[in-house]
Amino acid sequence: MINIKSKEEIDAMREAGRISAKALQLTGAQVRPGISTLELDQICEEIIRLEGAVPAFKGYNGFPGSICASVNDAVVHGIPSAEIILQEGDIISIDTGAIINGWVGDNAWTFPVGEISEAKARLLAKTEECMWAEIDAARAGNHLGDIGHACQKLAESAGYGVVREYVGHGIGHMMHEEPNIQNYGKPGTGPLLEPGMVFALEPMINMGTADVVDGLDGWLVSTADGQPSAHFEKTIAITDADPIILTQ
Ligand code: MG
């Protein structure tokens, strides 16, 4: 069952969204060659806690970090580490969320480290475009499949692979609520979208094949072909007009 949130509940979710977005933006501003992903994690946790919130990821199913830090061919769920030092030309997906007043926010962005190749810049731009296309499809009267289709069409026409095994999700009091939101699909299929549904939309797009492999730590997901992957995410609410971006 997909939870429908009232206007008041959606308003209450804005604070979790605001803190999640602030933490992501300020942490992203620290991305540079020479910094470790563990340092980024510490920066992010401090920002979230200074706001009086709790990092949503820390301890989630045992995840040790406040961010997922996924570099280059890492798709999602990278564990922050002092050993992973960013280098000029890398890309890093930072995914983070905050819990406050019992509500969760969740968002991600892929940042360039210094100067990146044109091919990586194109991947980032296209994946961000996929995210906005998903948000634009998140409208009452559309179907869930329209969201995935909007992403798949853009990504595959650019020659990229859409990750199948990991998906977006409903969000509210819990970080992961129903439904799972595939980043691929057929228009007009799946549940009808209604005002009050709140979703974390998060395309994961690979430069090469869509296939991914799981890491030995039980968390890290990487591309099967070793090519780079990008990931952008926002928490949004469906209304009877334009979708509202909660992680603003
Ligand atoms: Mg998410």
Measured in Å, residue 182 CA sits from the centre of ligand 1 at 12
Measured in Å, residue 234 CA sits from the centre of ligand 1 at 8
Per-residue pLDDT band for 69 (boundaries 50, 70, 90) equals very high
- Starting at the edge strand that comes first in sequence, how are the strands of the sheet with 221-223 ordered? 74-76, 221-223, 212-214
Phi, psi of 192, rounded to the nearest 5 degrees: -70, 135
Measured in Å, residue 168 CA sits from the centre of ligand 1 at 6
pLDDT number for residue 197:
98
Measured in Å, residue 132 CA sits from the centre of ligand 1 at 15
The mean pLDDT of 124-141, rounded to a whole number, is 98
CB neighbours of 95 closer than 8 A, spacing ≥ 6? 57, 67, 68, 70, 76, 106, 107, 108, 202, 231, 233
Measured in Å, residue 142 CA sits from the centre of ligand 1 at 21
Measured in Å, residue 202 CA sits from the centre of ligand 1 at 6
pLDDT number for residue 231:
98
pLDDT number for residue 36:
98
Measured in Å, residue 69 CA sits from the centre of ligand 1 at 13
pLDDT number for residue 77:
98
Measured in Å, residue 106 CA sits from the centre of ligand 1 at 6
Per-residue pLDDT band for 7 (boundaries 50, 70, 90) equals very high
Average pLDDT of the chain, as a whole number: 98
Rg for the chain (alpha carbons), in Å?
Answer: 17
pLDDT number for residue 39:
98
The mean pLDDT of 151-156, rounded to a whole number, is 98
Measured in Å, residue 1 CA sits from the centre of ligand 1 at 18
The mean pLDDT of 122-141, rounded to a whole number, is 98
- Tens of pLDDT, residue by residue over 79-115, are 999 999 999 999 999 999 999 999 999 999 999 999 9
What is the percent of the chain where pLDDT is above 90? 100
pLDDT number for residue 108:
98
Measured in Å, residue 173 CA sits from the centre of ligand 1 at 14
- Token pair 């072909």 is found at 225
Measured in Å, residue 200 CA sits from the centre of ligand 1 at 5
Measured in Å, residue 201 CA sits from the centre of ligand 1 at 7
The mean pLDDT of 214-225, rounded to a whole number, is 96
Secondary structure element (H or E) that encloses residue 10, with its range: helix 7-28
Closest Cα to residue 173, out of 43, 45, 13, 51? Answer: 13
